[in-house]
Structure 1
Amino acid sequence: MEQQNLEAVMGLIMYGGNAKSDAMEAIAAAKAGDFELADQKVADAEESLVQAHHAQTGMLTQEAQGNHMEVTLLTVHSQDHLMTSIAFTDLAKEIIDLYRRMDNK
């Protein structure tokens, strides 16, 4: 795998992992009633997802330009990691909203 592609793949894994961790911390903060921290952690997760999307966009641009990348288990894992993190962050927002509603009653 070329160095540029490896860096992009590792970026997806790293930023995806950061997003998932921040989303999990956001849920824990909301559960404890700290909605300010929960909101900050969601914002951090979303920023990590933006960074991951930049890495992914670079990979897609290379592909569209005819520079095909070897698909390895690491490549598949990175895409899976990103998609899981996106779903996890979306679900964290919903869970936090439920904790907010419960807190307001």
Structure 2
Amino acid sequence: MREEDYQVSFEIIATAGDSKGYSMDAICDAKKGDFESAQEKLKEANKGLLKAHELQTDMISQEAGGDSVPVNIILVHSQDHLTMANVALELAEEMILLYKTIDDLKTEIEEIKKKI
């Protein structure tokens, strides 16, 4: 296998890995109540995920155009990373909403307690 046969796969691994990291950091920020930072990290996670998808789409287009893409364990591994980054982003979005709801309810309970 030529080194260039691995290059796109490594780029997908890197960008998807960064995306997943931003998603996990966003969850941590939301848990601390820093929802602004969580949203910024979700934006970064989404940027990385889009870049990884673009790289994947380029390979799919290459294959569809008749230029075979060499399938190897690194390519398979990159697809695992891309899938996990996608799942991490989706779950982070949901968890942040849950943390925000919990935070809002805590605030509401405190306001009610003050009135009692």
* CA distance in structure 1 between the aligned counterparts of 2:29 and 2:6, rounded to whole angstroms: 34
Q: Could you say what secondary structure the match of 1:95 adopts?
A: helix
Matched, 1:43 2:37: no
Closer/same/farther in 2, CA of residues 94 and 83 from structure 1, 3 Å limit: same
RMSD between superposed Cα atoms in Å: 1.1
> 1:70 matched to which residue of 2?
70
* CA distance in structure 1 between the aligned counterparts of 2:99 and 2:76, rounded to whole angstroms: 34
Q: Quick check: which has more Rg, 1 or 2?
A: 2
Ranges in structure 2 where 5+ consecutive residues have no aligned partner: 106-116
Q: TM-score, normalised by structure 2?
A: 0.86
Ranges in structure 1 where 5+ consecutive residues have no aligned partner: none
Higher relative contact order (CA closer than 8 Å, sequence separation 6+): 1
Equivalent position amino acid for 2:75 in 1 = T
Residues 5 and 59 in structure 1, CA contact (< 8 A), matched pair in contact too = no
Q: TM-score, normalised by structure 1?
A: 0.94
Equivalenced residue count is 105
